């Protein structure tokens, strides 16, 4: 048989579209041509494949070899096609049986010795392969990562073992997930003493999935509080955890030891827009995608460049980011919870009560204007974090442990999910009218507050969402006036 077809998977964002490797042997001068929109790394695979076949004590056919990677309009990149190309050449030349190839898929980069090296994106490929009902054959080093999907997998450490398995001379092993429970322990909320209002806002943010901005002088515990949020969030669902693990697999980062834990990302304020949202010649996920299903913490928020912050506006609403390039458009999930921290003024001590601030009103206003109104509208909770005197700090009793707070958060989140099937932060305007309806007294009170504070329609809806979360935390069916008052108190930066 001079024609063989081998199945593999490309890498396109966090998706793994199918690719058929068609290998044809014909008469003519010995050569190897690869077509189907291959990038440089794929074109170079001809030399790796030839050496790997020869060093595996197999025969490289001295014929005209044409390799087509279909579909032809899908860009192919990386060394993941080495193994399927080698298998196709061996099958087309009759050195291995081709009967079993239709039930298998192959990915892996070949060393010149024939050894199999790991590739990025093995986990999305395993998920897609399981959906197609095939068995995926890949390198041993990729096995623990792909095994968390529960897909049908086989691993090998070199090309010769794959060929032996196709001849039924040996059986390739099933990989096992990495040891551990997939969890990562976060800092304890009980370490934070004092700051009752900030801890209350943190619990509200966790219960409803709301975005949170904390502002106050340096050293008041803003970063400490933010790092405790993942420890009180509800446990992540398995499907969402696999989506997060797939994103990390695409960038080649191993997260098998803690893949069931919500991510916490804290980029430096010098990060560029592509670093935050993703990009590059070959688009890669940015920090907002790496925070998918978890927390994105932006410390020193006004120190980020204005254009960098503005790119967050659309992902905060849509929960995804689309990176457009001339060749194609790549989509990455980006449903994250934004937690930000900032100082009240350039020196940081405005309102601290010790007269240390020397900033003028113009300097303070210019500093705060670095955060645009549309971005501030998308942040549901804006709370001050005031300094606690050292003498009072030592007297304050330890706070509640994270596990206790998490139980309340899970109960409040379950109430919302049972009612509307989603967290309160994701309610659209029509759902707000249905699930956040107010009585006549509450409506009049909120209208007066909105007029006085000059809130936008978006801010008005977000106040209703927070009030709905506060009612869920108290297991109350209807939003009360006290819930609206507390929700409005969490918008400190909207006050004149």
Kindly state the average pLDDT of the residues 6-11: 96
The pLDDT of residue 484 is 94
Q: In this structure, are strands 109-110 and 116-117 parallel, antiparallel, or unpaired?
A: antiparallel
Could you tell me the CATH superfamily of domain 189-422?
P-loop containing nucleotide triphosphate hydrolases (3.40.50.300)
The answer on pLDDT for 444 being more than 80 is yes
What is the pLDDT confidence band of residue 494, given thresholds at 50, 70 and 90?
low
The pLDDT of residue 172 is 95
What is the pLDDT confidence band of residue 180, given thresholds at 50, 70 and 90?
low
3-state SS class at 381: strand
The answer on pLDDT for 29 being more than 60 is yes
**Cα-based angle 399, 342, 308 (whole degrees, multiple of 5):** 130
The pLDDT of residue 495 is 53
What is the pLDDT confidence band of residue 315, given thresholds at 50, 70 and 90?
very high
3-state SS class at 410: helix
The answer on pLDDT for 184 being more than 80 is no
Q: Rounded distance, CA 352 to CA 7, Å? A: 65
Least confident among 66-75, 124-133, 396-405, 480-489: 396-405
149, 128 contact by CB (below 8 A): no
The pLDDT of residue 281 is 75
Q: Rounded distance, CA 119 to CA 123, Å? A: 10
> Which of 205, 242, 207 has its CA nearest to residue 474?
207
Q: Which fold has domain 3-166?
A: Ribosomal Protein S5; domain 2 (3.30.230)
347, 357 contact by CB (below 8 A): yes
CA distances from 423 to 235, 236, 251, 320, 444 (A): 14, 13, 29, 17, 26
**Cα-based angle 83, 86, 91 (whole degrees, multiple of 5):** 125
122, 149 contact by CB (below 8 A): no
Kindly state the average pLDDT of the residues 19-30: 95
pTM for the predicted model, two decimal places: 0.89
Mean of all residue pLDDT scores within the chain: 90
Query: What does 302-342 look like in DSSP terms, one character per residue?
Result: GGS-HHHHHTTHHHHHHSEEEEE-SS-EEEEE---EEEEEE
Q: What are phi and psi of 390, to 5 degrees?
A: -55, -35
Q: Rounded distance, CA 51 to CA 351, Å? A: 70
Helix, strand and coil in the chain, % to nearest 5: 40, 15, 40
Tens of pLDDT along 59-68? 999 999 999 9
- In which residue ranges of the chain is CATH 3.30.230.10 found? 3-166
Structure tokens at 377: 């509208």
180, 347 contact by CB (below 8 A): no
What is the pLDDT confidence band of residue 397, given thresholds at 50, 70 and 90?
confident
For the chain, percent of residues with pLDDT exceeding 70:
97
The answer on pLDDT for 326 being more than 70 is no
The pLDDT of residue 120 is 93
What is the pLDDT confidence band of residue 181, given thresholds at 50, 70 and 90?
low
Conformational region of residue 414, where left means phi above 0, alpha means psi within -120 to 50, and beta covers everything else: alpha
Strand order in the sheet with 3-9: 31-35, 64-70, 18-26, 3-9, 104-106, 135-139, 153-156
**Which position has the token pair 């659309």?**
314
The pLDDT of residue 395 is 73
* Cα dihedral 21, 27, 30, 33 sign: negative
The answer on pLDDT for 496 being more than 60 is no
Tens of pLDDT along 201-236? 999 999 999 999 999 888 888 999 999 999 999 999
Highest-scoring range by mean pLDDT, 347-351, 394-398, 471-475:
471-475
b/e string for 423-456 if b means 16 or more Cβ within 10 A? bbbebeeebbeebbebeeebeebbeebbeeeebe
The pLDDT of residue 183 is 57
Kindly state the average pLDDT of the residues 423-451: 91
Tens of pLDDT along 255-302? 777 788 899 999 999 999 999 998 877 788 999 999 999 999 999 999
The answer on pLDDT for 372 being more than 60 is yes
Q: Rounded distance, CA 425 to CA 442, Å? A: 21
For the chain, percent of residues with pLDDT exceeding 90:
65
């Amino acid at each position: 048989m001079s024609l063989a077809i081998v199945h593999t998977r490309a890498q396109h964002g966090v998706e793994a579209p199918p690719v058929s490797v068609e290998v044809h042997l014909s008469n003519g001068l010995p050569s190897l041509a690869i077509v189907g929109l291959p990038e440089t790394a794929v074109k170079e695979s001809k030399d790796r494949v030839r050496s790997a076949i020869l060093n595996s004590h197999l025969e490289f056919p001295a014929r005209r070899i044409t390799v087509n990677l279909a579909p032809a309009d899908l860009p192919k990149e990386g060394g993941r096609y080495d193994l399927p190309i080698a298998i196709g050449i061996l099958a087309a030349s009759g050195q291995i049986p081709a009967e079993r190839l239709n039930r298998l898929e192959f990915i892996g980069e070949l060393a010149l010795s024939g050894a199999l090296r790991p590739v990025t994106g093995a986990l999305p490929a395993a998920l897609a392969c399981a959906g197609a009902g095939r068995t995926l054959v890949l390198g041993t080093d990729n096995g623990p990562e792909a095994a968390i999907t529960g897909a049908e997998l086989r691993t090998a450490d070199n090309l010769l073992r794959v060929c032996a398995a196709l001849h039924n001379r040996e059986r390739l092993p099933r990989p096992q997930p990495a040891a551990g429970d997939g969890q990562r322990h976060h800092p304890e909320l009980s370490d934070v003493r004092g700051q009752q209002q900030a801890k209350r806002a943190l619990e509200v943010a966790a219960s409803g999935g709301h975005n949170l901005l904390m502002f106050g002088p340096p050293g008041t515990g803003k970063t400490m509080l933010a790092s405790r949020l993942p420890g009180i969030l509800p446990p992540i669902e398995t499907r969402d955890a696999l989506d997060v693990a797939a994103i990390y697999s695409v960038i080649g980062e191993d997260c098998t030891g803690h893949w069931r834990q919500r991510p916490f990302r804290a980029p430096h304020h010098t990060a560029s827009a592509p670093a935050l949202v993703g990009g590059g010649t070959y688009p890669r996920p940015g920090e907002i995608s790496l925070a998918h299903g978890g927390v994105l913490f932006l410390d020193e928020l006004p120190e980020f460049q204005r254009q960098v912050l503005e790119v967050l506006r659309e992902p905060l609403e849509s929960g995804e980011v689309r990176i457009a390039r001339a060749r194609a458009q790549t989509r990455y999930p980006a449903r994250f919870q934004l937690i930000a921290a900032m100082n009240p003024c350039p020196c940081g001590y405005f309102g601290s009560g010790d007269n240390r601030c020397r900033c003028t009103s113009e300097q303070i206003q210019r500093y705060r204007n670095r955060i645009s109104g549309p971005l501030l509208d998308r942040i549901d909770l804006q709370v001050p974090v005031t300094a606690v005197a050292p003498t009072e700090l030592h007297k304050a009793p330890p706070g509640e442990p994270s596990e206790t707070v998490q139980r309340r958060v899970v109960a409040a989140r379950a109430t919302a999910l049972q009612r509307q099937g989603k967290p309160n932060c994701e309610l659209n305007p029509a759902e707000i009218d249905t699930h956040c309806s107010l009585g006549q007294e509450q409506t009049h009170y909120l209208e007066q507050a909105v007029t006085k504070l000059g809130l936008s329609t978006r801010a008005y809806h977000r106040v209703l969402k927070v009030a709905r979360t506060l009612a869920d935390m108290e297991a109350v069916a209807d939003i009360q006036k006290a819930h609206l008052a507390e929700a409005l108190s969490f918008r400190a930066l909207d006050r004149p």
